[in-house]
Structure 1
Amino acid sequence: MTARYCSLAQQPAPAFAPGLAAERIGALVRGHRMWVNNTVLHYCFFTDHTDGSVIPVPGTGETRRVPWAGTKEQQDVVRECFDEWQDLGIGLTFTEVTDRSEAELRIGFQPGGGSWSLVGRDALRAGLHERTMNFGWDLTAPGERATVLHEIGHALGMTHEHQNPGAGIHWDDEAVYEELAGPPNFWSRDRTYVNILRKLDRDEVNGAVWDPQSIMEYPFPPGLILEPEQYRAGLHPPGTLSTADQEFARRWYPPAGTGDPPALVPFRSAALRLAPGGQADFTVEPPETREYRVGVFGAADTVVVVFEERDGEPRYLTAHDDGGTPANATVRARLVKGRRYFVRVRLYSAWGSGETAVMCW
């Protein structure tokens, strides 16, 4: 019997201007969904039974409206899995909130709606009253903790491991389509292709080497995989965070250092000596209340995010991603004297000569 699988909707590929170098495009594809490090990701649960949506009833041609609210027992499994990722010592922090307007991640428990998550920063494009993650079956059942760890992996920016082109998987395509068309998934051919058969770009995957033990790997019954030969009898990942999963999370979100980042003083530039994927953090304590600009200078693709410190933690204020454009990332924000702000700059790639720098003015 086929397992119930995470079902991601296909997202449009990022569009880049013609003529960009392959190395530059690769860096943009690898990083465009990743959060800047030292972000506090706030999550909330839909609890109001007026929040819901209409879903099809498999095999009937009918639809029904199903709420998104879940039980405390289901919520507790999700809380525990956020803690498990957090306990790796990564540079992201997960904080539960009750006000959805404060949450980057909004979680529903719609039975029959499938389990899925938006990937990384794609969550920021969802509307305030929309889910960024859903769990479509009972998470308290044996083995379902793996479903939650998997969906949180997507929220961190991870992709499906079996779609890694380095896996070398040769599928029996029609057997896969037939298996997924039936219970418990009832997938269309398009959904099966998007989530299983489609090979990802090498720059999209979690690592160059396929990790069949990854939490992002589906289990598969016998008869779907033709090659590698050892998986003809099925593929059965353990449902836990593998060593490679942990390395991926720590590589993109290394533990925060001790002490405050250096100050970014208005009208004084700070050099950015970053490797691709690197990040520089600064604090800003404005000498007066007014509108400021924070921007990067130089031939580089970057994302700049400004946070305001509230109740001892950084809260997202504004951001700009200049990836793939000739312009530099620049944000405008009203900064208040007596408050503290954090500026985080992540470099995709430096594509020209000369140094890059950031300034607040």
Structure 2
Amino acid sequence: MTRRYCSLPQQSAPAFAPGLAAERLGALVGGRRMWVNGTALHYYFFDADTDASVIPVPGTGETRRVPWAGAKEQRDVVRECFREWQDLGIGVMFAEVFDRREAELRIGFQLGDGSWSAVGRDALSMGANDRTMNLGWDLTEAGGRWTALHGIGHALGMQHEHQSPFAGVHWDDEAVYADLAGPPNHWSRDRTHFNILRKLDAAEANGSVWDPQSVMQFAFGPGLVLEPEHYHSGLYPPGSLSPADKEFVLRWYPPADPPAVLVPFRSAPLSLGPGGQADFAVEPPETRVYSVATFGESDSVVVVFEERDGEPRYLAGHDDGGTPHNTRIRVRLVKGRRYFVRVRLHSTWGSGETAVMCW
């Protein structure tokens, strides 16, 4: 059986200030890629003739263009998979848009470039004309639906399950390198180590228990896994959302409660535990530039959305994680419009109270 694998883009590890307490550092590592709950994630499919990669033609000194656009049948599989995640009742919403400037997720279908995705908020660091996800083989064939569900899992902030430090998997390293070096993946040793053999930080894992049935778990053929011994003959997850997958996304993105009211010039206390979130609605009394800031010794991410056609649209955000400074955003709010301020707490590192204010 041909096994094609998702390859994550390699990015530098975040540089946090030295000397952070282990609990605080773990909260930052585990939460830095996760979206604030209540985010509307807009996805865009590349379709223009100019959306393409220019790659060299071996032995000729020439180049050719490989388009990023995908056929309707490919796009429909991805749409169905977005709906499957959405139908879990998660607090994050998905909406297709037809202007790439409005999209946090930009999806291409370049054949030969493999399948890969930015993980969670890493998508925001990629250029507005760049792909944040590529689905590089026919999604209508066997395993295609798994590819799309898996890629969306990454977009929600999930990591590869087989790299969990809780898995207790012992590999035949050289057999894994040899298997991935051959067709259809043709991976280098560095890519194989990064996507297969490297163990995640415990804070990055999707859960505290390994889930071999996860949609984020790769299938592996015989002889690659040495332990647990019963997987020596192969590991074959079903390619669908497992109960643990559903629990993970619902823990990070539960159904949203109605927001509290954040009155300008009046602070609102934040009684949150690590990973907790508070949501506020703001109706500005006048049109001008406002400041939105947190107070107290805490690491948090704050995002301001504007309601447009009943949907929250991103305006501004800031993550103060790992710094001695609080989050502060300056943003123009318009009288007569409704805004949402969402505050998610990574961790507290002092004994005082925390609060948010708009003024």
TM-score (norm 1): 0.97
1:277 Cα deviation after fit: 0.2
Q: CA-atom RMSD, angstroms?
A: 1.5
Which residue of structure 1 aligns with residue 44 of structure 2? 44
Q: C-alpha separation between the residues in 2 aligned to 1:23 and 1:172?
A: 33
Alpha-carbon distance change, 15 to 298 in structure 1, aligned in 2, over 3 angstroms: same
Say whether 1:222 aligns with 2:222: yes
Say whether 1:301 aligns with 2:299: yes
Which residue of structure 2 aligns with residue 77 of structure 1? 77
Which residue of structure 1 aligns with residue 269 of structure 2? 271
1:191 Cα deviation after fit: 0.5
**2:194 aligned counterpart, secondary structure:** helix
Give CA-to-partner distance per residue, 1:74-114, whole Å, 9 cap, x none: 00000000000000000011000000000000000000010
Give CA-to-partner distance per residue, 1:195-217, whole Å, 9 cap, x none: 00101110111011110000000
- Map 1:144-183 onto structure 2 (within 5 A): 144-183=144-183
Q: C-alpha separation between the residues in 2 aligned to 1:300 and 1:153?
A: 28
- Map 1:1-361 onto structure 2 (within 5 A): 1-55=1-55, 64-257=64-257, 260-361=258-359
Unaligned 5+ runs, structure 1: none
1:56 Cα deviation after fit: 6.5
Q: C-alpha separation between the residues in 2 aligned to 1:346 and 1:327?
A: 16
TM-score (norm 2): 0.98
**1:352 aligned counterpart, secondary structure:** coil
Q: C-alpha separation between the residues in 2 aligned to 1:58 and 1:174?
A: 29
**2:204 aligned counterpart, secondary structure:** coil
State the aligned residue count: 359
Identity value in percent: 75
Q: C-alpha separation between the residues in 1 aligned to 2:185 and 2:148?
A: 17
Q: C-alpha separation between the residues in 1 aligned to 2:281 and 2:89?
A: 22
Q: C-alpha separation between the residues in 2 aligned to 1:287 and 1:195?
A: 51
Q: C-alpha separation between the residues in 1 aligned to 2:166 and 2:174?
A: 22
Q: C-alpha separation between the residues in 2 aligned to 1:77 and 1:242?
A: 19
Q: C-alpha separation between the residues in 1 aligned to 2:110 and 2:56?
A: 12
Unaligned 5+ runs, structure 2: none
**2:95 aligned counterpart, secondary structure:** strand
**2:324 aligned counterpart, secondary structure:** coil
Q: C-alpha separation between the residues in 2 aligned to 1:59 and 1:225?
A: 38
Q: C-alpha separation between the residues in 2 aligned to 1:108 and 1:169?
A: 33
Q: Is the 8 A contact 1:215 1:242 kept in 2?
A: yes
Q: Is the 8 A contact 1:58 1:186 kept in 2?
A: no
1:63 Cα deviation after fit: 6.1
Q: C-alpha separation between the residues in 2 aligned to 1:112 and 1:54?
A: 12
Q: C-alpha separation between the residues in 1 aligned to 2:212 and 2:56?
A: 33
Q: C-alpha separation between the residues in 2 aligned to 1:70 and 1:183?
A: 23
**1:165 aligned counterpart, secondary structure:** coil
1:65 Cα deviation after fit: 2.5
1:142 Cα deviation after fit: 2.1
Q: C-alpha separation between the residues in 1 aligned to 2:34 and 2:64?
A: 35
Q: C-alpha separation between the residues in 2 aligned to 1:147 and 1:116?
A: 9
The residue type equivalent to 1:302 in the other structure is: S
The residue type equivalent to 1:232 in the other structure is: H
Give CA-to-partner distance per residue, 1:249-275, whole Å, 9 cap, x none: 000000112xx4111111100000001
1:60 Cα deviation after fit: 10
Q: C-alpha separation between the residues in 2 aligned to 1:98 and 1:270?
A: 38
Give CA-to-partner distance per residue, 1:109-143, whole Å, 9 cap, x none: 00001001000000001111000000100001122
Give CA-to-partner distance per residue, 1:20-44, whole Å, 9 cap, x none: 1000000000100000001100001
1:165 Cα deviation after fit: 1.0
